[in-house]
Structure 1
Amino acid sequence: MKKGKYYITTIIGLLLIIIGLYFSKSQVRLEGILKVLLYICIGLGCGIFGQGMGKIVSEKAVKNYLEIKKQIEIDTRDERNIAIMNKAKAKAYDMMIFVFGAVMFALALMGIDLMVVMTLVIAYLFVALYGIYCRCKYDKEM
């Protein structure tokens, strides 16, 4: 990703946060899915903003240190580090499936609004189905 795209993602994240906060604090009464979407908008905005700002700050931090920049580039492309990172992601995914399932079940038992629980269920199913898709895709490739 080029440096200019980091600025764009940071601005998009900031706009999502502002839009979500503005409409959640406005006088307009939103019900149901729209209210949930505002908070999802705020959450996505925070994530996108944090990702963009993190990349911008890290680029500026190592801009004048060519040796450190070169070492970071080597470390990110090292096969051993890539294998370790992929194994850690796989372990985290395995744990996430059970943890999110338990959290959704607990929220449903506590009587939390159905829209909130359904939003979590949809996100959970999206991640699980994407995992199955990737598994099938890699099965064919390897």
Structure 2
Amino acid sequence: MTVGGRLDELALAAVAAATGAWPYQPKGRQKTYVAQGGKRFHLRTRTEEDDGEWFLGINERCWRAGEYFVLACGGPDAMFVVPVDEFPGKDGFPRNGTDRKIHVVCGRGQWYLRDPHPRFVLDQYRDAFYLLV
């Protein structure tokens, strides 16, 4: 996960363009934000891995109904806005301490989460910043 980098700025600018204002952080050190209108989202960013796959960590406390995950994958700069309510349950992902390891893959033109099985397709959530309005 990157902190405060180019992908963070791109994702936050996209949220601002969709909602009409820059989101704010209720707690300055965490990558949890609130968009104008009150929707809370958890931003996770990662530069491209050598094999074109991305690994992101999402803390278990972030799996809250009514909130969103914004996943930003560097390289092709693909961004996904997924409601937590539609995201697969945290128990389907490998654990790393209090984080769940999210593995984003782009294969044969389709974006998806490798775990859990069956795969969770992300394509419909690409650039879906309107969900945060």
Same structural fold, with TM-score higher than 0.5 when normalized by the shorter chain? no
TM-score range, shorter chain: under 0.3
TM-score w.r.t. length of structure 2 = 0.25
Bigger Cα Rg: 1
TM-score w.r.t. length of structure 1 = 0.24
Higher share in strand: 2
Higher share in helix: 1
